[in-house]
């Protein structure tokens, strides 16, 4: 079997287009564009790239982008004061504080200070709690994007065996919750799981979010599995190259011999994250304005 390549890049582009059209309609009706504030503390190069591309994508989707770049030695009090100002700014529908934060800042306290109704990352404990008990809130962007790709590919997930590898608050745990809500039978596996390969072999759906380059080979996969690879790992550079290749947690070529469908890296899950962030911001704008959230997003 040669697996179908799940084209997250194309899916994300279509989602961004729908969000952009809906944002324009919102602006027409509300007299203002949906607004997303992104806060970056320090100079982490990867974060810098993410923040720049979030800003561009926000503007391209007919939304207002507010970028706040603070020095690496910003105090917790100053950062909390900025979040408070954004919480109270009616032009701001969504607030994202880029992680990781410098070590002297406590991520949990900063996340807790964001209004849950503007927490478009879905990281606030209130939103984690809402997801856990089945209330509508904000769901973290990467797992929600994975669910969109799975629903598009498989339709109904009822009764399917899903194995999520990784238990982070940002991906693994919310992913498991979403799969459970979709009536899959869910296992969360992690670094201490015994016979990880054997557990993964049972899965109709594998979601890999471990951060280990090409850890999952074809021998781990059930014939016909659907594989969602959240990993983004850079291999050491080949002799003569200045950058190594980007690979996922799954060995793509060999896994493609066994799986029915698989997301590539890059071009799979990665592009979904920003598209869903824009979608969450659009939803926040509608909720904050007290108007019905459009269907089909």
- The residues assigned a catalytic role are 54, 98, 121
**Single residue of 12, 23, 97, 251 touching ligand GUN by CB under 6 A:** 97
Provide the minimum distance between the beta carbon of 256 and ligand GUN in the complex, in angstroms, as a whole number.
27
Provide the minimum distance between the beta carbon of 2 and ligand GUN in the complex, in angstroms, as a whole number.
32
Q: Return the residue matching tokens 């990993």.
A: 231
Cis peptide before 196 (omega within 30 of 0): no
Provide the minimum distance between the beta carbon of 39 and ligand GUN in the complex, in angstroms, as a whole number.
9
Per-residue x/- mask for ligand GUN, residues 246 to 275, rule CB under 6 A? Answer: ---------------------------x--
**Contact between 119 and ligand GUN (CB under 6 A)?**
no
**Single residue of 37, 96, 210, 276 touching ligand GUN by CB under 6 A:** 96
Piece of 97-105, 176-184, 208-216, 278-286 that binds ligand GUN (CB under 6 A): 97-105
Whichever of 97 and 182 has its CB closer to ligand GUN, that residue is: 97
Whichever of 26 and 138 has its CB closer to ligand GUN, that residue is: 138
Per-residue x/- mask for ligand GUN, residues 140 to 159, rule CB under 6 A? Answer: -x------------------
- Ranked by CB distance to ligand GUN, the top (closest) residue is 99
Provide the minimum distance between the beta carbon of 214 and ligand GUN in the complex, in angstroms, as a whole number.
21
The residues that touch ligand GUN, with contacts defined as CB under 6 A, are 96-99, 121, 141, 273
């Amino acid at each position: 079997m040669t697996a179908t390549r799940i084209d997250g890049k194309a899916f994300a582009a279509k989602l961004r287009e729908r969000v952009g059209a809906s944002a324009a309609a919102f602006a027409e009706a509300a007299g203002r564009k949906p607004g997303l504030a992104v806060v970056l503390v320090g100079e982490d190069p990867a974060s810098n790239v993410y923040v720049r591309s979030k800003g561009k994508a926000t503007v391209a989707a007919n939304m207002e982008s507010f970028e706040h770049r603070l020095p690496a030695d910003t105090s917790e009090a100053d950062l909390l004061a900025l979040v408070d100002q954004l919480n109270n700014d009616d032009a701001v529908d969504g607030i994202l504080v880029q992680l990781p934060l410098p070590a002297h800042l406590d991520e949990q306290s900063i996340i807790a200070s964001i209004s849950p109704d503007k927490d478009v990352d879905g990281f606030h404990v209130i939103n984690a709690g809402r997801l856990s008990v089945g209330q509508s809130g904000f769901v973290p962007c990467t797992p929600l994007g994975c669910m969109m790709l799975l629903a598009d590919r498989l339709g109904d997930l009822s009764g399917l065996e899903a194995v999520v590898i990784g238990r982070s608050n940002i991906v693994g745990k919310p992913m498991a919750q979403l799969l459970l809500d979709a009536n899959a039978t869910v296992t969360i596996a992690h670094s201490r799981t015994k016979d990880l390969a054997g557990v993964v072999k049972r899965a109709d759906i594998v979601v890999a979010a471990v951060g280990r380059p090409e850890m999952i080979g074809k021998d781990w996969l059930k014939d016909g599995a659907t594989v969602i690879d959240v990993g983004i790992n850079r291999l050491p550079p080949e002799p003569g190259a200045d950058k190594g290749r980007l690979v996922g947690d799954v060995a793509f070529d060999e896994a493609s011999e066994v799986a029915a469908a698989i997301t590539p890296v890059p071009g799979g899950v990665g592009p979904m994250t920003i598209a869903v962030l824009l979608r969450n911001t659009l939803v926040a704008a509608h909720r904050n304005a007290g108007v019905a959230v459009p269907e089909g997003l």
